[in-house]
Each structure stands twice: as structure tokens, then as C-alpha cells.
Amino acid sequence: MTGIDLPGIGGFDVARYQREMMRAMQKEAAAVMQAPKVQQERTEEQEPATSFESFLGGAVDNVQGLQDDVRAKVRGMVLGEGVELHDVMIAAQKSDTAMSLMLEVRNKMVDAWEKLSRSVM
């Protein structure tokens, strides 16, 4: 007895590993889907999305933020407010990519739902 608590030599905690992997995947997906800092900045104190529903809601809001950013830049360029064409094109491409990603996620979810419903019947 040395007073040092060592973990037991035993089984692998699968549930803990799965929780850690899900958290890591959610963080990576949130980083990909996060909108530019035009809408709102995320602070360290805010908790990450706790459910799949809130995660998807946040992703849709981020896509909407990108589309609003494009709309504002196009308007600024047309009205001569000093917005450059390349800024508008970059914002439009970001918005298009995010929207394409959201459509692919939706398609995968619909496909998974169809497979699940076929396997139940």
C-alpha cells in the first residue's frame, strides 16, 4: 500500500469510450458547420449542444446565418457601400457549401429512416 490509487487491471469501459467518441465527433461537426462570426460569437462558458435535435437546429441556424451574410454583402455591393466582389463570391461559396452539406445530411437521415422502417416491418 503506497497510497497511490491505480486503476484496476480489468475490462475496457466501452460505454465511457463511446461517450468520449461522441463528444469528439460532435465537436468536429460543430466546427465544420459553425457560421462566421457575423451572427454571434460562441463563448467558452456556453455548453455544447446536448442533444441531436439542438445540434441540428444549430446547424440550420448557422446555414441561415451564412445566407444572411451573403444577402447583406450583395446588398452592400449593389448599393456601393464598399463591399468587394471577391468578398461576395467567397461568402456565396461558403453558403453554397454549407447548404450542400445540410442537404447531404438530410438525405442520409431520410435514407437511414427508410432502412429502419423497412427493417421493423
In a domain, 91, yes or no: yes
* Residue range 34-52: mean pLDDT, rounded: 57
In a domain, 15, yes or no: no
In a domain, 106, yes or no: yes
Nearest CA to 65 out of 95, 92, 90, 93 is that of 95
Give the count of domains, the chain. Answer: 1
* Share of residues in the chain with pLDDT > 70 (%): 64
Distances (CA, A) of 21 to 14, 54, 74: 10, 18, 40
Furthest-apart CA atoms within the chain: distance in Å = 77
In a domain, 13, yes or no: no
Residue for cell digits 467518441? Answer: 21
User: For 80-119, how does the pLDDT look when each residue is reduced to its tens digit (9 = 90+)?
Assistant: 999 999 999 999 999 999 999 999 999 999 999 999 998 8
pLDDT interval class at 43 (50, 70, 90): low
In a domain, 38, yes or no: no
The three three-digit cell numbers of residue 11, written as one number: 475490462
The domain of 74 spans: 51-121
Rounded to two decimals, what is the model's pTM? 0.54
